[in-house]
Structure 1
Amino acid sequence: MIFIKVIVSIILIIGIINPRLSWKISEGWKFKGVEPSTLYLIMTRVMSVVMLIVVWLAIPN
């Protein structure tokens, strides 16, 4: 279980540090020449922080 937490944490930290990369991986490949909105980038960062807290505090080892 700890291995899964670490992998998920790495993905979420990427979302916190570089939400644009997260967008390119999840949605950007579907469109050509489109950039995410500022609101989307902010919400991705906020949700990544929330999910990181949930993963480490709410899910038992």
Structure 2
Amino acid sequence: MKSNVFSEYPDVVNVDQLREMLGGIGPKAAYKLLHDRKIMYFKIGKAFRIPKQSVIDFLQTQHS
């Protein structure tokens, strides 16, 4: 069953969208989560791309 969480976001988001999804966290906090591999990502050139499911997985582990 596909989740409707964050349905307004694409399947792969950028760092600004990630920040919005996490309640407007700052850029340093967002990049720290990525660098610490708390949220999985891949890079295209220098740009971070984050699968939406990685954000959902991260939030579920924080609240369980």
TM-score (norm 1): 0.31
Q: TM-score normalised to the size of structure 2? A: 0.30
Bigger RCO (CA 8 Å, 6+ sep): 1
